[in-house]
Amino acid sequence: MRTAFHSQLDALLHTMADMCELGGTAMERATRALLDVDIVLAETVISDHRDFVTLGVKAENDAFNLLALQSPVATDLRAVLGCMQNVGDVFRMGVLARHVADIVRRRHPEPAIPADVNDYFAEMGRIAVNLGHNAKDVVLSGNPDRAAQLACDDDAMDELHRLLFSIVLDQKWSHTVGVAVDVTLLSRYYERFADHAVTVGQRVIFQAMGAPTG
């Protein structure tokens, strides 16, 4: 029998899953804005962030009400608390996408990154969409294979982050210090984005196994 609790938990999981997908899409669009020096798209990412914040506050309130009104125990309690913690991580994914868009806006009409690192950021953007998409799937399915895929994508992101560092620090770096600073910060935003997606996946899987959520 489906209880009111499980219906509400399902709704909460779907809100959170939507946030994962939206976070990935925001990062993908911020990446396109970065690569195409597209100020309109950057502004869209920045203004759409408000909806993301609204969704986050709604998810948090829904989780609170679920706990307050249904007093779940054991696995159900763990599931709601996990959602609450995950909202924090997914929320940061959206913030990091906005940070990328902020840099695009700050440098406009100049490109924030030089053409010779475009491919790295294109790849980071591609991985970010995957991360958002797979985080959504993990949230809805609890599928450990998808969580493992998140970890793989995180490794790929870390590798790109390291590569970009070595490019910026190479003697052959021919751009300004300002460009190096932007590339460093941007790269860090993508790397943190991936970390948050992995944390969401790990938390879902640990919960399913009944282990601590931390």
The residues that touch its own copies, with contacts defined as CB under 8 A, are 56-57, 60-61, 64, 67-68, 71, 73-74, 77-78, 81, 84-85, 88, 165, 168-169, 173, 177-178, 180-181, 184-185, 188, 212-214
CB 59 → its own copies: shortest distance, Å?
9
Question: Which backbone phi and psi does 45 adopt, to 5 degrees?
Answer: -60, -45
Nearer to its own copies, 83 or 128 (CB): 83
Residue among 29 and 161 whose Cβ is closer to its own copies: 161
Contact criterion met (CB below 8 Å) for 90 and 200: yes
Comparing CB distances to its own copies, the nearer of 109 and 214 is 214
Choose among 83, 81, 93: nearest CA to 52: 93
Are 114 and 176 spatial neighbours (Cβ–Cβ below 8 Å)? no
Would you say 148 or 165 has its CB closer to its own copies? Answer: 165
Under 8 Å CB-to-CB from 85, ≥6 apart: which residues?
A: 203, 213
- Residue keyed to tokens 């506050």: 57
Please, what is the minimum distance in Å from the beta carbon of residue 69 to its own copies? 9
Cβ-based nearer residue to its own copies, 65 or 141: 65
Q: 131 φ, ψ to 5°?
A: -60, -45
Q: How far is the CB of 142 from its own copies (least distance, A)?
A: 19
- For residue 177, the minimal CB distance to its own copies (Å) is 5
CA dist 188 and 165 (Å) reads: 10
Least distance from C-beta 128 to its own copies, angstroms?
Answer: 19
CB atoms within 10 A of CB 139: 28
| Degrees to nearest 5, angle at CA 154 with 210 and 27 | 110
